[in-house]
Structures are given as structure tokens and as C-alpha cells.
Structure 1
Amino acid sequence: MINSRALLVTFILVVSFMAIAVKLFNIQVLEHDRYAKIAKNQQDKALVIKAERGMIKDRNGDILSYTLNDVSFFVDTRMLSQTSKGRIAAKFSQVFSKSEKHYLHSMESTKGNVFLERKVPREKLLEFQNFIVDGFVSVDDPTRNYSYGNLASHLLGYVNSDLIGLDGVERTYDDYLTGVDGLLYVERDVQGRIVTVKDELSRKPRSGNNIQLTIDTKYQKILEQELKKGVDNCGAVSGIGILMNPNTGEILALANYPSFHPSEYFKVNDKIRRNRALTDTYEPGSTMKALTMAVLLDNGLVKEDEIINTENGRYRIANANIIDINKYEKLSVREVLEQSSNVGITKLSERIDERTFYRYLRDFGFGNSTSISLPSESAGFLKKPDYYSTLSKPFISFGYEISVTPMQMVAAFSSLINGGILYQPRIINKIIDEHDRVIEQFESKRIRNVISQETSERIKNLMFGVVEHGTGKLARCSNMLVGGKTGTSQKYIDGQYVKDYNASFIGFFPADKPEVVGLILINSPATGKYGGIVAAPVFKRIVNRIVEEDINVIPQRISFTRDEHTLDQLLETAFSNDEPVFLQTANIGEVVPKIEIANQYSGRITMPNLVNRSLRDALAILNEMGLRYDIKGSGKVVEQSIKPGTEITSDAVLTIKCEDNNMLRTLGIF
């Protein structure tokens, strides 16, 4: 019995030893490579070193967007004892000034990986230099930072949590901004601690390239602040503003209001996030008259002093009545543009061949995207002559039956005043690598010549007159001569035009040699509604501030009062090197009493008497004073809520009651 048991034990031991020997032979010989690889992977580890995303700067080198090298801390609760949790909670409470209970609750309420602090400055990592607890880990967690908050948010765009660009420049130039991640090969011990770094296998990260934009931060701040003020003053829904160099196509500033913070893009809806200067189209209204007039001039179809019968402000064509707000029996061609006469421009447009008109509008860039290097741009809509009705050409001549983006309008308008050249709008100046070497330089791109140099000078002259004695009088500046065109258009909603408006002004300065062209578009103003009332004052304030802050715009500061003798002297000096036609046809000696009255109220701190003034005069005064207001009715002012002579407080809102003799029942237009 004993011998049998001994033999059985011996047999089992032999068999076991042979099984172990076979297994060892299998591991060490037959599958040596496989198990060696597994051991190596456990011992050696390739750690990814995240490359820093490139910066976005303005034209002067101011940093607009950059990456913070933040870190995040987490624990694997499955590896933590109660003692370890207590140590971690005490340490984090000390470093981040939160209670220990806060961190203990986080660790005990969830199993697995639990983040204790996210995206904290890298300097905090030094506090944990000698703090070693199994299951406690720190990881790189970079954050995209926007130096000026909401500033230029629609241009810059934003990134997701993985720092991938989702909109704006961040999206379009994501490949340039994204660097090449590095690799750090390390050898670990059995507890997972780094023993050595294998430099020969490691690779340093390469930072992304830096993008320099064409925008100027100073201009951008001014535009955004004044656009917000303009929208708020008239109770509008939103606003768009663009400032552009007409001689190069460089965008100097672009703003949408309301705006958003790029780091918190997920807190607002798509309507606020989208860059409406590129994505949204509108019927431009009377700003289109400047382009129509340029076509007429370029083809020799009109002369500035030619007299047009404007039919006392009412003209019937086909089955439609074309109406002017201000009724004139006759106007010169110059005055047709200055007074924004629908009747006048309709009659003049009859002289243009339909296909010629369409060709010019295409050449101005309508119906095609501008190809600016920003996402989601719309091409707008330009009707082909084959589909024109009897009313199409006259309606297009004053800005209906055509839809454009604000960017298209600024580009087209620039060609009117720069000698006739259409430039592609440009937002990027250059791309630079981490060593300040230029990777790519972007130059201005001339698309085509649209009108002649002579026509450009003549239309520039006419638009100077619009501001000096026409519908753009509220854009007049005391230290700068400007030109421009007002625009107001009713919105087409559910198959009909409704009493909801887009009010706009496009202007340029200095008037003799334009360096900046700007568009202000106010969406659905609750009061004022006309471009000359709500948009022109915004442009004026922008010009005034730019002149004060940027000496390069006009090296010699000037100030003048508008009477015939002074203006003649001023223009003789300012335009002495320009074409004679400008001086011959400017009509600069006229005095416009209404604007002289409005200018008297700039800076006033007591309430003026508005009773018996026209609504337009009252609004001119209130806009000049920067006072918020609410209007009831239309026509002449019959009552005001704040008595004349009362000191005005910063939160004051004036209610004025008006009585009207005539209600506007047609397409409203200036």
C-alpha cells in the first residue's frame, strides 16, 4: 500500500515536472518572440507629448488666440485604499482650497477613473512633485485661450475639447495650426514607475504654425463697441459691421452682434455663432443705387447735372407704384443719388440694356462667393436676364430682387472708390512657423477691373455729396471728409414685404483718398428704421474714434465748420492732387440746417425741446446725444416724456409721441 502511494506520488511529480518543462520550452523557445514582446510592452512605454497649437495674431502681432499648457488630475478608485483616499483629499484640499469632504465624495461616489481637477495651470503640478500614490495620475490637458474674450469671435472661430478647429480661422487653417505630437519612450519598473528615458527613440513635438491676420485689434474693438451701441440704441435684433481696405481687400475688422466667447461656444445657439457677414443674405435696398449709377456713368448714359423728372415722388411702371419718401418734381442726376430717389433711379435704369446690367452686377461679384478664406460663405442670388420681369431691372436698380451678403457688398463698394478694381477680400496676412520663418505670404488678389478710373472718381464724388447734403448727413464728421450711401429695405417674409427692415450705411474715408470702407447693417430696428438714421451715426462714431486713435489714417488732424467759404478752402487743399472733376461737381458749398441743428446737441446733458420737430429731426438729435428712446406713432413730435431742461441721467429712456399725416404703405426706401 505504501509503495503504491509512493509510486503514485512519484508519477504525479514526474508528469508535473514534464508538463512544466514542456510549458517552459514552449515559452522560452517556441513562443519566445511573442512573450518577449509582451514583456517589452509592459516594461517599455511610448508616451505621447501633445504638440502646442499655433497662435493667431492680428496684423500688429497682438496675440488673439493661444494654447495654455494646463493639466488635469484623476484617480483610479479601484487602486485606492481608504488611507490613500484620505491622503489625496488632504493634499488637494491644501492645494486648491476646497474641503476634504468634496474630494472624498468624488472618489467614493464613482468607481473607476474620477477627475478631481480639470484644466488647472501647469504650475500646480509642482505642488505634487513628491506626492506618490498608486492610482493617482496627472495628464496634459491643454486649453485654447482667447486673449480678448468675445473680440473677433466670429472671425477666430473655436475648437473642441481635442483642440480641433470647428469654425472660423481655427477651422479653415486647422492643418497649419495643429502641430506634430512628440513621443517619449520610457522604461518602467514592475510598479510602473519610469526608470529611464530612451532618447534615441524619442521624438520632440513640433508646435503648430502661427497665423497672422489682416485685422487690427484697435479697429476691431471700436467696431464691436459702436455696433453694440447702435443696435441697443434703436432696439434692433442684431447688427453686422465690416471695415476693409478698399485698395487691397484686407479685412481690418469684422463684427457680428450679439457675439459669443469662443471658449464657451456651446452656450449659445447656431444663429449667434454663425458669421452672418458671410452666411446671411439680404436685399440691400438703396445702397445698390450707387452701383447702378456707376453702370450708367461708365457707359456714358448720364451726366451729373442732367435734370430728371421725378414725378413728385410717384411713378407707375407695369402694375407697381414706385414711391419716394421725399417728393420732388425734378432732381439732377447728382440729387437722385443724394436724395435716394427711387423714381429717379428707376427712370435712369431704363437706359441700361438688361444684359449689360447683369454683366456689371456679375463683375461686381454678386451671385458668386467672394472666396474669402472663412467657412460657410453664401453666394447670394442674382437673377439672370432671361428670367427678368418688367419690374426686375428697376427693382434691382434700388436693391430689391437681388440678395447679397455684407461681405459681397463691401467688396463691390470698394471697387467703386478704388479706381474700379474688384479685390478678393482677405483675412490672412501670413503663416509663420515656431522659429518665425514665413511659411506662406498672402498677397492682395485683383479679380477684375469693373469700371474705369474716371467713373470711379465721379461716383466717389457723388457719394461725397450724399453725406454732405443727402440722406447720409448723420455720417458727417467734424475732422474728416467722408462719403457713402444709405440703404433701407423691407424684409420679404412668407411671400410678402412686411414692415420689418434692414437699415444700412456703407461709407469710406478719407473722401479724397479712401483708406477704409465700412458697412454697418442693422437688423430690424425698433425705432428709426432708416439707414441714414440708425446706421450712419454708427459709422460716424467709428470714423471719429479711428481718426483719434490711428495717426496713420490722417497725419494732420483737421477741424472745420461747414460754410461755403471754409469748405471751398478745405477741399482746395485736401484734393489738390485729384482729378479736377471732383472739385467741379462736389457742390460742397451748400449748408444743411438740419444737421447743423443736430450737431449743436452733441455732449448736451439737459433735455432739449423736441415738440413740433419732425420725427427725423428728433431722431437726429437723440442719436447725436446718444440718448435711448422709445417712439410712439410717426410724423411730428407732439409730446415727450422728459421735460425740456431736465438733466439727463445715464439710464434715461425718452418716450416721444408723434402724429402722422401719411402712413408709408409701399417699399420704404432710403
Structure 2
Amino acid sequence: MINSRALIITGFVFLFFLLLLAKLFSIQILKNEYYTLIAERQQNKPKIIKAERGIIKDRNGEVLSFTRDNVSFFVDTRMMNESKIDTISKVFSKTLGKPVSYYKRIIRNGKRNVCIAKKVPMSKAFELKKLIVDGYFYEEDFTRVYPYGNLAAHIIGYVNRELKGIEGIEKVYDEILTGKDGMYLFERDVLGKVISVDEKHSVPPAPGNNVVLTINKTYQKILQEELAAGVKKYNGNSGVGIIMDPNSGAILALANIPDFDPANYNLFTASERRNRALTDTYEPGSTIKPFILSMLFNEKLAEENEPIDVEGGKIIFHKTRITDTHPHDILTVREVLEQSSNVAMAKLSTRISDELFYRYLRNFGFGNPTHIEISGEAEGYLKKPKNFSKLSKAFMSFGYEFSVTPLQMITAFSALVNGGILYKPYVVEKITDANGEILSSADPKRIRRVIDKEVSDKIKKMMVGVVENGTATAAQLDYVHAGGKTGTSQKLVEGRYVKGKYNSSFIGYLPADNPQIVCLILIDSPEIARYGGLVAAPVFKNVAQRLIEYDLNLAPVRKKIVRKKKLIEELIAEDINAKENNYDKFFNPTNEKKMLPEKPVKQNVQKGVMPDLRNMNLRDAIVILNELSVKYKISGSGKVVSQSIEPGVKLTAGTICTVKCQLNINKKVLNLN
């Protein structure tokens, strides 16, 4: 009996050893590679080290966005006991200042891995890293920091919790800003403690590259503060401001009100985060008038001192009433711009063909996106000539029937005052690596010449008159002359113009003789006042005055400008002299109808046959020639007295007709009283 029991026990022991031997054979021989890999993973556990995201700076090296190297700390509650909990809680309480009970409660109530302190600054994390307790560990937990809060938020954009760019430069340059994560291979003991680091197989993280913007931080601060003050003062819905270098296209500042804090972007609405300078379009109103005059000057269809009859500021144009804010009888073209006459602009617009009118606006960049680096840009709307009505050019000449973005407007305006060159706007100056070495840099990109330099110089001088004598006197500066143009346009909402809702704008430049900056101010729906000269121009002045105080290059000579209003006699003398010396101009005064019998415009015009233009107003003659697709050259102004192609002659393609005109001016018309 005893022997049988011994045999059974011996058999079980032998069987156990056989099974153990088989298991060891499987581990050591059959599955050697598998278990070796498991052992290596346990002993040589790799740890991913996050790469630091690159920095965004302004043009002067001021840091606008950077990554703070924070650390988050954890405990594995399955490895905790009262002694460990007490030790950890006391160290954290001493370092971070919260009660010991706070940390004990977190650990005791937690399950598995519990975060006991999130995003601890490196200055304090350094002490906490020294603590060695089984089940206690930490991870790098970077935080994107925007040190100046909402400054340039619509340009910089923001990132999500994973530090991935969502909007603005953070999004567009996400790949460049994002570094390459590293990996450290740690050798651990059976308890999981780090014994050593395998330097041979470890790869250090590579930080992201840095993006340097064209933005000037101080310019940006001034623009945002004054724009916000303007929106508040005039009780507007929103505001947009842009400052650009007209000689390169570099954006020096861009602001939207309301704005947001990129570090807490989720607390703001989509409307507040929207970059209206790029996404929102508006009808530009009278700010378009210098563009129309520039095309007329460039085609030699108008001159600065020629007189225009504005008929008391009211006309019926193709059965539609067009009016001016202030009534005038006779204005020179220069005064047309200064006084912002819609009537005169409507008349002047008839001198240029539909195709040429459209081509100039297109060449200024309207109807096309600028392709700036920031995403979400709208292209605006520019009607094609085939869709023009009889009123289109007239209405477009004072800023209706097409829409632009603020960025398009300031880009085009820069071409108007820089000598006639359209530049591509840009906001990124260069890309550098973490050590400051330049990897790439942006050079001004010239797109095309739009107008001649002489025309640009003329328009530039005329817009100084707008500030000194016209609708923008509220933009006058103390130490430097500025030029610019006001604009007021009724808002189009769901296809209808809304009464009492206006876009009030001003776009100006300084110094007047050599523009270094162009600044656009747009206030949406101000309830206090409505005209651009009363709302936007004062905001421009406040911005410009502060810029001059900050940047000595804008006004190196600080001599206060003494202004005096011209005597009425001086204005009359100046006007009469200009007109007497410039008879060879377009001039359609009301009284002239009594001097010459006017041939009716609506005559039987036979296609392909030259009509009789003699004794017509030049404006009506041009309309007929355009309808017949006849190229023409104009000599003089007023009534047509002769034409190079006789009436009744068959027209051939490419034929050019020279039309000679003459004025019969009665000096009584020049009475400005």
C-alpha cells in the first residue's frame, strides 16, 4: 500500500518534471525569439519623446507663439500603498502648494493610471522628476503659448490639444512648425526602474522650424487698440484694419474686431474667429474712385484740371437718379475726387469702353484671390463686360455692383500709390531652423504694372487734396502729409440694400510724397455717423499718429504743419486759371445746351457704316463708336466738329476714327458763387 502510494507520487513528480522540461524546451528552443523579444521590451522599453513645435516671431524677432515644455505626472494606483501615497502627496504639496489631502484623494479615488498634476512648468517639474517611487511616472506635455493674448490672433491662428495647427499660420505651416519626435531606449530592472539609457539605439527629438512673419508687433498692437476703440465709439458691428508696405506687399499688421484668444479658442464663436479681412466681401463705395480716374488718366481720357458740370449734384442717368452728398455746379476732375462726386464719376465712366474698364479693374486684382499664405480667402465679385447693363459702369465708378475683400482693396490701392506696380501680399518673411539659420526667405513678388508711374504720381497728389481739402479732413496729421480716400456704401443683405446699414471706410497712405505704409480702416454698420470721412478717417488718424510717434522713419522731420483754409478768391482764381489754360478738355455744362443745338443720340445707326457724329456731345459719340466696335482717337473736348471717316463710309476691321471736338465756353459758367 505504501509502495503503491510512493510510486504514484513519484510518477506525478516525474510527470511534473517532464512538463517543466517541455515548457523550458519551448521557451528556450522553440519560442526563443518570441520570449527574447518580450524580455527586451520589458527590459529595454522605448519611450517616445515629443519634438518641440517651432516658434512664430514678428519681423523684429519678438516671439508671438511658442511651446512651453510642461510635464504631466501620473501614478499607477495598482502599485500604490499608504506609504507611497503619503510620500508622493507630501512632495507634490510642498512643490505645487496644494494640500496633502488633495493629492491623497486623487490617488485613492483613481483607477489604474491617474494624472495627479497636469502641465506642470519645467521650473517646478524638475523637483518632481527627482522623486523615485514604484508606480510613479511622468510624461512631457507641451503647451502652446501666445504671450500677447489676442495680438494678431487672426494671422497666427491656433492649435488643438495635440498641437496640430487648426487655423492661420499654425495651420498653413503646420508641417514646417512640427518637429520630428525622438525615441529613448531605457533599460529597466524587473521592477520597472530605469537602469540606463541605450544611447546607441536612441534618437533625440528634432524641434520644428521657426516662422518669421512680416508683422510688426507694435504696429499690430496700435492697429488693434485703435480699431477696437473706433468700433466701440461709433457703435459698429465689427471692424477690419490692415497696414501694408505698398512697395513690397508685406503685411505689417492685420486686425479684426471682435477678436479672440488663440490659447482659449474654444471659448469664442466662429464669427469671432473669422478673419474678415480675407473672408468677407463688401462694395467699396467711393474708395474705388481714384482707381477709375487712374484708368482714365492712363488712357488719356481725362485730365486733372478739366471742368466737369455736376449739375447741382443731381442727374437722371438712363432713367435712374444719381446724386451727390453736397451740391456743386462745376468741379475740376481733381475736385471731383476731393468732393467725391458720384455724378461726375458716372459721366466720366462713359468715356471708357466696357472691356477696358473691366480689364483695368481685373489688373488691379479685383475679382481674383490674392493667394496670401493664410487660408480661407474669398475672391470677391467682378461682373464681366457681357453682363454690364447701361448703368453698370456708372454704378461701379462709385463703388457698387461689385465686391472686394479688404485685403484685395489695400493690395490694389498700394499699386495706385507705389508707381503703378501690383505686388502679391505676403505675411511670412522667412523660415529658420531652431538655431536661427535661414532656410528660405520671401522676396516681394511683382505681379504686373497696372498704370504708368506718372499717373500714379498724379493720383497720389490728388488724394492728398482729399485729406487737405476734401471729405477726409478728419485724417489730417500733425507732422506729415497723408493722402487717401473715404468710402461709404449701403450694405447689400440678401439681394436688397438695407436702409441705415453702411460700410464706412477710409484707405490712406503716408508720407504723401513717398508712401511707406498704406492703412485701410473698415467699420461695419456704425450707428453713430455713417460716412467714411466721419467714422473711418478719424481711426486712421489715431493709428497713423501713434505709428509716427513709434517709428521715426515715417516722419524724420518733426515740424508741425500749419494749415489755413484758402480764401474763396484764391479758389476761384485757381479754378478759372486752370480752365482757361485747359480748354481742350471734356466739358458738358448745363448752360451749354442753350449755346449749341444738340443732335439727338438715338439716330438710325447702320451696322458696318460710319455714322454722322458731328455736333454730338463727345460722350454720346463714344457710345456709338463703342457699339460699332470702332477704335477711336479723341482730339479736344465738347462737341464733335469733325471726324476722319466720312459719314456713310463702310467700316473695316481695325479702322481708327479720329474725332475732333471743340468747346464754346461762356465764362459765366465758371461763377462759383
TM-score using structure 2 length: 0.82
CA shift for structure 1 position 15: 2.4
Secondary structure of the equivalent of 1:9?
Answer: helix
Counterpart CA distance in 1 for 2:13 and 2:98 is 62
The question of 1:132 aligning with 2:132 is answered: yes
Secondary structure of the equivalent of 2:59?
Answer: coil
Q: Given residue 533 of structure 2, which amino acid in structure 1 is its aligned partner?
A: G
Q: Given residue 320 of structure 1, which amino acid in structure 2 is its aligned partner?
A: T
Q: 2:242 — aligned with what?
A: 242
Q: 1:209 — aligned with what?
A: 209
User: Which deviations, in whole Å up to 9, do the C-alpha atoms of 1:189-218 show, x marking residues without a partner?
Assistant: 011111111111112222111111111112
CA shift for structure 1 position 385: 1.1
Counterpart CA distance in 1 for 2:101 and 2:195 is 35
User: Which deviations, in whole Å up to 9, do the C-alpha atoms of 1:344-398 show, x marking residues without a partner?
Assistant: 1111111111111111111111111101111111111111111122222211111
Q: 2:256 — aligned with what?
A: 256
Q: 2:539 — aligned with what?
A: 538
Counterpart CA distance in 2 for 1:103 and 1:274 is 41
Counterpart CA distance in 2 for 1:82 and 1:491 is 70
Taking the TM superposition and a 5 Å limit, the aligned residue runs for 1:427-576 are 427-498=427-498, 499-563=500-564
CA shift for structure 1 position 559: 1.1
CA shift for structure 1 position 319: 4.2
Counterpart CA distance in 2 for 1:390 and 1:112 is 77
Secondary structure of the equivalent of 2:151?
Answer: coil
Q: 1:288 — aligned with what?
A: 288
Secondary structure of the equivalent of 2:37?
Answer: helix
CA shift for structure 1 position 186: 1.2
Counterpart CA distance in 2 for 1:507 and 1:155 is 22
Counterpart CA distance in 1 for 2:322 and 2:285 is 13
User: Which deviations, in whole Å up to 9, do the C-alpha atoms of 1:199-255 show, x marking residues without a partner?
Assistant: 111122221111111111121111111111111111111111100010111111111
Counterpart CA distance in 1 for 2:120 and 2:354 is 64
Aligned length: 569
44-53 vs 5-14, which moves further: 5-14
Taking the TM superposition and a 5 Å limit, the aligned residue runs for 1:380-395 are 380-395=380-395
Q: Given residue 395 of structure 1, which amino acid in structure 2 is its aligned partner?
A: F
CA shift for structure 1 position 106: 2.6
Q: 2:44 — aligned with what?
A: 44
Taking the TM superposition and a 5 Å limit, the aligned residue runs for 1:577-588 are none
CA shift for structure 1 position 124: 1.0
Counterpart CA distance in 2 for 1:409 and 1:129 is 55
CA shift for structure 1 position 129: 4.2
Taking the TM superposition and a 5 Å limit, the aligned residue runs for 1:616-655 are none
Taking the TM superposition and a 5 Å limit, the aligned residue runs for 1:605-624 are none
Contact 2:92/2:128, CA 8 A, preserved across alignment: no
Q: Given residue 106 of structure 2, which amino acid in structure 1 is its aligned partner?
A: S
Q: Given residue 205 of structure 1, which amino acid in structure 2 is its aligned partner?
A: P
Contact 2:95/2:128, CA 8 A, preserved across alignment: no
Counterpart CA distance in 2 for 1:82 and 1:320 is 89
Counterpart CA distance in 2 for 1:413 and 1:71 is 50
Q: 2:614 — aligned with what?
A: none
Q: Given residue 380 of structure 1, which amino acid in structure 2 is its aligned partner?
A: G
Q: 1:277 — aligned with what?
A: 277
Q: Given residue 556 of structure 1, which amino acid in structure 2 is its aligned partner?
A: V
Q: Given residue 481 of structure 1, which amino acid in structure 2 is its aligned partner?
A: H
Q: 1:633 — aligned with what?
A: none
Q: 1:328 — aligned with what?
A: 328
428-437 vs 107-116, which moves further: 107-116
Q: 2:302 — aligned with what?
A: 302
Counterpart CA distance in 2 for 1:130 and 1:361 is 67
Counterpart CA distance in 2 for 1:89 and 1:526 is 59
CA shift for structure 1 position 314: 1.8
CA shift for structure 1 position 558: 2.0
Q: Given residue 255 of structure 1, which amino acid in structure 2 is its aligned partner?
A: A
Counterpart CA distance in 2 for 1:92 and 1:185 is 28
Counterpart CA distance in 2 for 1:129 and 1:153 is 35
Q: 1:26 — aligned with what?
A: 26
Contact 2:509/2:515, CA 8 A, preserved across alignment: yes
Evaluate the alpha carbon distance shift between residue 564 and residue 184 of structure 1 in structure 2; reply closer, same or farther with a 3 A threshold. Answer: same
CA shift for structure 1 position 135: 2.5
Counterpart CA distance in 2 for 1:492 and 1:296 is 28
User: Which deviations, in whole Å up to 9, do the C-alpha atoms of 1:32-83 show, x marking residues without a partner?
Assistant: 0111111111110221222221111111111111111111122232332244
Secondary structure of the equivalent of 2:199?
Answer: coil
User: Which deviations, in whole Å up to 9, do the C-alpha atoms of 1:4-23 show, x marking residues without a partner?
Assistant: 33332233222222222122
Query: Which structure 2 residue ranges, 5 or more long, are not aligned?
Result: 567-577, 583-673
Secondary structure of the equivalent of 1:198?
Answer: strand
Contact 2:134/2:193, CA 8 A, preserved across alignment: no
Secondary structure of the equivalent of 1:180?
Answer: coil
Q: Given residue 472 of structure 1, which amino acid in structure 2 is its aligned partner?
A: A
Counterpart CA distance in 2 for 1:401 and 1:128 is 66
Secondary structure of the equivalent of 1:487?
Answer: strand
Which protein shows a greater Rg?
2
Taking the TM superposition and a 5 Å limit, the aligned residue runs for 1:69-84 are 69-84=69-84
Q: 2:593 — aligned with what?
A: none
Q: Given residue 519 of structure 1, which amino acid in structure 2 is its aligned partner?
A: L
User: Which deviations, in whole Å up to 9, do the C-alpha atoms of 1:595-652 show, x marking residues without a partner?
Assistant: xxxxxxxxxxxxxxxxxxxxxxxxxxxxxxxxxxxxxxxxxxxxxxxxxxxxxxxxxx
Contact 2:75/2:114, CA 8 A, preserved across alignment: yes
The question of 1:194 aligning with 2:194 is answered: yes
Contact 2:504/2:526, CA 8 A, preserved across alignment: yes
Secondary structure of the equivalent of 2:61?
Answer: coil
Q: Given residue 24 of structure 2, which amino acid in structure 1 is its aligned partner?
A: L
Q: Given residue 206 of structure 1, which amino acid in structure 2 is its aligned partner?
A: A
Contact 2:96/2:124, CA 8 A, preserved across alignment: no
Counterpart CA distance in 2 for 1:361 and 1:532 is 24
Q: Given residue 512 of structure 2, which amino acid in structure 1 is its aligned partner?
A: A
241-250 vs 327-336, which moves further: 327-336
CA shift for structure 1 position 150: 1.3
Counterpart CA distance in 2 for 1:420 and 1:523 is 29
Q: 2:101 — aligned with what?
A: 101
Q: Given residue 333 of structure 1, which amino acid in structure 2 is its aligned partner?
A: V
CA shift for structure 1 position 114: 2.4
Counterpart CA distance in 2 for 1:158 and 1:379 is 24
Q: 2:143 — aligned with what?
A: 143
CA shift for structure 1 position 533: 0.4
CA shift for structure 1 position 299: 0.9
Evaluate the alpha carbon distance shift between residue 129 and residue 209 of structure 1 in structure 2; reply closer, same or farther with a 3 A threshold. Answer: closer
Counterpart CA distance in 2 for 1:277 and 1:129 is 47
Q: Given residue 420 of structure 2, which amino acid in structure 1 is its aligned partner?
A: G
CA shift for structure 1 position 443: 0.2
Counterpart CA distance in 2 for 1:106 and 1:2 is 61
Q: 1:59 — aligned with what?
A: 59
Taking the TM superposition and a 5 Å limit, the aligned residue runs for 1:361-372 are 361-372=361-372
The question of 1:117 aligning with 2:117 is answered: yes
CA shift for structure 1 position 564: 7.5
Q: 2:658 — aligned with what?
A: none
User: Which deviations, in whole Å up to 9, do the C-alpha atoms of 1:445-475 show, x marking residues without a partner?
Assistant: 0000001111101111111111111111100
Counterpart CA distance in 1 for 2:466 and 2:130 is 73
Runs of 4+ in 1 over 4 A off after TM superposition: none
Counterpart CA distance in 2 for 1:531 and 1:129 is 60
Q: 1:338 — aligned with what?
A: 338
CA shift for structure 1 position 25: 0.9
Q: Given residue 433 of structure 2, which amino acid in structure 1 is its aligned partner?
A: D
The question of 1:11 aligning with 2:11 is answered: yes
Counterpart CA distance in 1 for 2:299 and 2:339 is 23
Q: Given residue 515 of structure 1, which amino acid in structure 2 is its aligned partner?
A: Q
Q: 2:312 — aligned with what?
A: 312
Q: Given residue 176 of structure 2, which amino acid in structure 1 is its aligned partner?
A: Y
Q: 1:400 — aligned with what?
A: 400
Q: 2:174 — aligned with what?
A: 174
CA shift for structure 1 position 430: 1.0
Contact 2:187/2:194, CA 8 A, preserved across alignment: yes
Query: Which structure 1 residue ranges, 5 or more long, are not aligned?
Result: 566-580, 586-670
Q: 1:590 — aligned with what?
A: none
